[in-house]
Amino acid sequence: MSIAARRLVRSSGDKFILGVTVPEPNVNVGVYPTVARTAYTGPTTITTPGTVVEDKDITQYITVNAPDVTFRNCYFSAGGDLNHGGMVDCKTANCSNIRFYRCTFIPSTCSDRRDAVYGHDYTIERCHIEHTVDGLAVVNQHAAAVNVRVLGNWIGNLSWYADDRGAHADGTHNDCIQMHSGTGLEVVGNAFYGYKYNVLGTPALDGSADNRHPQVGQIILTQTAAYYHVGDIHVRNNFIWGGANCLKYASRCAISGHNHRYGYDVENVNNIWMDDNQRDYGYTWHFYPIRTDDEMTINGIGPFATSGATYDVHGNHWSATSPGVTDPARKGQPVFIRCDAT
């Protein structure tokens, strides 16, 4: 089925073109400003297949345990420090064809353990997500396929914490999208605003006013050893600001209590749109639009063999002031692909 056929358009007057129109909060993504909403009084665990929740303000955490559940024009604001998961959890084996359209996710109280949506088999389109620790978590413990589509959303201003409760020595690692395992992820036409949410009172490490931070990125694709191999990834026509690693694919990462491995043979990573303020990062190390390792293949390029080498990826549009393909990498400015040894 085509992307156009999957879209849930509110009216014929909606001119949003996926991959062309830049998603903007309170303009063309998130809840409709002119449509009234009422308080949600339904169950916090949804078990009825085909449930439609529309035009609601939802202050509770929601668990989906049924197929074909749709949320449309809903404002999610649940806050508080609970165990890690999502404002909406779609983690059970019963979840399939879960849909979010024109919803807003902004927690009333931030937490270093809470994402917007956590799970598998969901499509999220033209939603507004901010102030969560990660935007979207993509993971399926029950099958190899995650079947997640992220289409035309605005995700950013993530909640960075200096204290990550021992998981990382350098604070929380915030990602607009964090994929833990599985196959079948499509990421098209989104705006990723990879900055930390400053209201929490912890300044950026470099003291900058724009809240860029080395642990705030956009799309980080990992694999937890206990789950399934990562593959069939499609990332195209996105708009990217801030962040240290826009797209990161690497072989492994050592985190206390975890044994992560990253997927290989990522497909169709192309047409990543960059912005000038992605360029001037200001730290003493490089940052990378795409970062991978010497076991990866991207768009037929690779597997990479040289640690620290830079490569071009076709179909990308960089700022005119960014280094060219053959230019040497310069501190504080991006390279096309950074290759690290496994």
For 82-125, write each residue's pLDDT tens digit: 666 899 999 999 999 999 999 999 988 877 768 899 999 999 99
Report the C-alpha dihedral over residues 118, 99, 38, 42, rounded to 10 degrees. -70
Q: Is 229 exposed, middle or buried (0-12, 13-18, 19+ CB in 10 A)?
A: middle
The single-letter code of the amino acid at 214 is: P
Low-confidence ranges of the chain (pLDDT < 70): 1-14, 81-84, 113, 160-173, 181, 194-231, 241-342
The predicted pLDDT at position 253 comes to 42
* Nearest residue to 290 via CA among 341, 217, 232: 217
The predicted pLDDT at position 187 comes to 85
261/253 Cα distance (integer angstroms): 7
314/290 Cα distance (integer angstroms): 12
* Nearest residue to 157 via CA among 203, 194, 204: 194
Q: Does residue 303 contact residue 295 with C-beta atoms inside 8 Å?
A: yes
Prediction pTM value = 0.77
User: Which pLDDT tens digit goes with each residue over 179-214?
Assistant: 876 788 888 888 877 666 654 434 433 334 445 554
Q: Strand pairing partners for 134?
A: none
Q: How many residues does the chain have?
A: 342
186/26 Cα distance (integer angstroms): 24
The predicted pLDDT at position 296 comes to 58
The predicted pLDDT at position 38 comes to 98
The predicted pLDDT at position 6 comes to 38
